[in-house]
Amino acid sequence: MTAVDVAPPSRTSTPTLLLEAALFQGAWFACVLGAAHDVPLAAPLAALEFLALHLVLVRPAGATLGRVLVVAAVGCLGDALLTRVGALHLRGAASPWLGLPLWMLALWVAFGATFDLVLRRLRTRLRLAALLGLVGSPLSYLSAASLGALSFGTPRALALASTGLVWCVSLPLTLALSRRLDPSSDGDATDTRDGTPHVR
């Protein structure tokens, strides 16, 4: 498997995107199930493994790591806000300087890597990103809750609405910041029908 230069993104094939999405899903389950079953090392190990595999797919590493840090920072701030207002109750001991358990930090690090490939197309589609944040984030938290990694404050509907509103703003913001770190790319131009570059 050869590395994919993230600029220009038109070289990114559909199989590569699917592979990255599957690898992230595996990391997500490892982080969430590790939290639910009190296996504290599962999350950081899974996140580091996913990040290492991601760096095999893309380059340069420095730009990727910069985006990962930005996404992790915004993600942790969003979850810290949600926990502070009582919308979320995360399983596991919270770090004194972060206010979140290690598994959630690891999960945001892994999620940050997806901004290079899987979420690249959303960089110029911020309205769609806002909609995905509004609808998708409550579904993700619901899935984590069903596996035992977190619980919601009461009333539950208000807690879910709070997560959606936070990520309706945070996801487009994070994508915009990610795009500023990589101004040479404005989305992925891969033709998903045959995997060949589609020039706009």
Q: What is the pLDDT of residues 15-54, one digit of tens each?
A: 888 888 999 999 999 999 999 999 989 999 999 999 998 8
Q: CA angle 155-158-162, nearest 5°?
A: 140
| CA within 13 Å, CB half, 63 | 18
At residue 193, the pLDDT reads: 39
Instruction: Quote helix, strand, coil % in the chain, to nearest 5.
Output: 65, 5, 30
In a domain, 110, yes or no: yes
Residue 64, pLDDT > 90, answer no
In a domain, 112, yes or no: yes
At residue 25, the pLDDT reads: 95
At residue 35, the pLDDT reads: 96
Q: Which residue has the tokens 């094939």?
A: 13
Q: Where does the pLDDT of residue 197 fall: very low under 50, low under 70, confident under 90, or very high at 90 and above?
A: very low
pLDDT in tens, 66-115: 888 889 999 999 999 999 999 999 999 887 767 899 999 999 999 998 88
At residue 59, the pLDDT reads: 62
In a domain, 52, yes or no: yes
In a domain, 190, yes or no: no
In a domain, 188, yes or no: no
CA distances from 63 to 19, 133, 165, 181 (A): 21, 24, 29, 7
Structural domain span for residue 154? 12-181
In a domain, 77, yes or no: yes
Residues 33, 138: Cα–Cα separation, whole Å: 18
pLDDT in tens, 154-196: 899 999 999 999 999 999 999 988 788 765 555 443 433 344 3
In a domain, 18, yes or no: yes
Q: CA angle 50-54-57, nearest 5°?
A: 150
Q: Where does the pLDDT of residue 7 fall: very low under 50, low under 70, confident under 90, or very high at 90 and above?
A: very low
Output 130 or 190, whichever has higher pLDDT: 130
pLDDT in tens, 162-172: 999 999 999 99
At residue 13, the pLDDT reads: 76
Give the number of domains in the chain.
Answer: 1
Q: Where does the pLDDT of residue 60 fall: very low under 50, low under 70, confident under 90, or very high at 90 and above?
A: low
Q: How many C-beta atoms lie closer than 10 Å to residue 71's C-beta?
A: 25
In a domain, 196, yes or no: no
Contact 85, 162 (CB under 8 A): yes
